[in-house]
Structure 1
């Protein structure tokens, strides 16, 4: 073994010892409030990645889509066709707000989605509930942020994970969250005239 490899092995051994010491202190478990926000792509994709991880572990879970309407997506089609026994899936929105152009209808649908979400979260058999694009509904005040925050703090079962996606997450939501990731936009093909593509966006 070369001197360089020796130095590397010694350095990694020290790093492993320090890491093991830190990990030994991490013994608690709890249901997390997880927020994926920011202008970059990947917020819903990250949420669905966690849902598919739950499915792979045979953990009951649920999805409520707040904005996306009847358009077919790979995630929804796969869950409904293969995993609807373990993942309860609800598309409650009717499309993006600039498509519906009817605020009263948008508010009505968002409220219905939130009521469905509360029912799913209250059910302790659901180990994870994804609230896809709820931050958009909160941004436009279709749902009261105070209601969402108080429900998550006071009524969410202690071992249930709730994932909330969408840009412009409210500060009050970020404050109570256990895990917040902000997707940063560096480059986007849309700016170069590339449309949303199957397998990438949906």
Structure 2
């Protein structure tokens, strides 16, 4: 490891533009996309801001760790799907749920009553062709100027990356699954 001197001045000049709602994308094959989005949701909620989280692949009855704590905190989180595609019994039904879920999420975006809207795992229904990309891009462009949006999932489309204000790609360096260690409650749920 190389030792470096701590900075004595800011790395970048202080931005002088107006504050506005941001489009933030967390993508890539590494872990942490949803976790980062949930961290932003907690930060905003902690500041008394209205937050809404939609999970495109989770079932409405999901009781993962994030659901339990968000319920305790009064932070709304809603599963819109029927699980990941390999668990689905009817992919046409999964696609219909994604479209119905998008209609709810889009209405939330356009209403402007939330400071932050999280569209967790939305890249999957986009990639599978269950949701057309253009209406999503249009809603992001047309949302009220103060609404922040976080979109998560692997392989974000180039058009979304171009539209976004901030894009973070989580890179996979090493994963415990490759060593045969299964998912664990409290880490991956």
Between the two proteins, the alignment pairs up a number of residues equal to 184
1:34 aligns with 2:40: no
Computing the radius of gyration from Cα coordinates, the structure with the larger value is 1
Give the structure 1 partner of residue 103 of structure 2.
Answer: 115
The structural deviation recorded for 1:81 is: 2.7
Q: Distance in 1 between matches of 2:68 and 2:109?
A: 22
- Alignment match of 1:80 (pick from 66, 71, 74): 71
Q: CA deviation at 1:151?
A: 1.4
For residue 136 of structure 2, what is the aligned residue in structure 1? Answer: 148
Shift of 1:72: 1.9
TM-score by length of 1: 0.86
- Give the whole-Å Cα distance in 2 for the aligned partners of 1:160 and 1:112: 21
Cα offset, 1:101, TM superposition:
4.0
Q: Which residue of 2 aligns with 1:194?
A: 181
How far apart, CA to CA, are the structure 2 residues paired with 1:108 and 1:169?
21
- Is 1:172 the counterpart of 2:159? The answer is yes
8 Å contact from structure 2 (residues 62, 79) kept in 1: no
Within 2, Cα distance between the matches of 1:169 and 1:188? 21
Greater mean deviation of Cα atoms: 88-97 or 66-75: 66-75
TM-score by length of 2: 0.91
Corresponding residue SS for 1:121: helix
State the Cα deviation string for residues 55-100 of structure 1 (Å, max 9, x = none). Answer: 11010110111002244211111112331xxx33211111000110
Write out aligned runs for 1:10-21 (5 A).
Answer: 12=8, 15-16=9-10, 19=12
> 1:103, CA displacement in angstroms?
1.8
Q: Which residue of 2 aligns with 1:94?
A: 82
Unaligned runs of at least 5 residues, structure 2: none
Matched, 1:136 2:127: no
Q: Does 1:66 align with 2:53?
A: no
